[in-house]
């Protein structure tokens, strides 16, 4: 009888312990390419005349008329005389390409209008991002948050020549058509402005 009582007590203790322990769920991340993304504060200036008012933290064009800085710490910088400033928080979409932000680069920035919510917009970029990842294309891509359905789409390439070679191949591929259809149902973008920075 004592044996039966001890077995019953041990079963009771096991059941009560299992009720108090938390069940842990483990989510398997199969593709780190889409994780650990940063949000950058972008200060971009287009000046009417060459300027020496920018410190060394800014990338500058050779003619000293275009400047930009991405920072995780600094928010909007001050206005500069004779310059048009664009400030936006940019969410990076290609975190493995962040090295392109460091050296000389070629930037294209498009002003776009979204027809959909931000999560649907991001889904429409998937064919493009998959192609970038699968083919190790040397471009960093980011977009700003929607503001009155408007956003900036930024690509930073390692050089103008590299961008031109990529676009020549891209236009001939099926991927460009797939991406154009996916994006056109979600947004309309103006032709990009381009800048060479050092």
User: What domains appear along the chain, each with residue ranges and CATH number?
Assistant: 38-197 (3.30.70)
Q: Closest Cα partner for 101 from 155, 45, 164?
A: 155
pLDDT of amino acid 47: 96
pLDDT of amino acid 32: 46
CB atoms within 10 A of CB 113: 13
Q: Give the number of C-alpha atoms closer than 13 A to the C-alpha of residue 4, restricted to the C-beta side.
A: 1
Q: Is the pLDDT of residue 6 over 90?
A: no
pLDDT average, residue stretch 126-141: 90
- The mean of the pLDDT values for the chain is 83
C-alpha to C-alpha distance for 78 and 192, rounded to whole angstroms? 25
> 85 near 179, Cβ under 8 Å?
no
| pLDDT band at 35; cut points 50, 70, 90 | low
pLDDT of amino acid 73: 83
pLDDT of amino acid 4: 41
Beta-bridge partners for 71: 41
pLDDT of amino acid 179: 83
Question: 44: helix, coil or strand?
Answer: strand
pTM: 0.78
């Amino acid at each position: 009888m004592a044996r039966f009582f001890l077995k019953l007590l041990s079963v009771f203790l096991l059941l009560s312990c299992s009720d108090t322990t938390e069940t842990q769920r483990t989510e398997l991340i199969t593709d780190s390419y889409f994780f650990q993304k940063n949000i950058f504060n972008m200060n971009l200036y287009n000046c009417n005349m060459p300027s020496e008012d920018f410190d060394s933290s800014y990338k500058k064009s050779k003619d000293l008329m275009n400047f930009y800085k991405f920072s995780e710490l600094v928010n909007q910088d001050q206005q500069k005389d004779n310059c048009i400033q664009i400030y936006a928080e940019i969410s990076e979409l290609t975190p493995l390409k962040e090295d392109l932000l460091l050296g000389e680069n070629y930037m294209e920035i498009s002003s776009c209008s979204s027809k959909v919510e931000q999560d649907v917009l991001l889904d429409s970029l998937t064919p493009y991002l998959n192609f970038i990842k699968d083919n190790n294309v040397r471009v960093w891509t980011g977009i700003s948050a929607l503001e009155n359905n408007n956003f900036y789409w930024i690509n930073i390439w390692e050089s103008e020549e590299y961008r031109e070679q990529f676009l020549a191949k891209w236009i001939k591929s099926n991927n460009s058509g797939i991406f154009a259809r996916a994006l056109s149902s979600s947004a309309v973008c103006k032709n990009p402005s381009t800048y060479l920075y050092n």
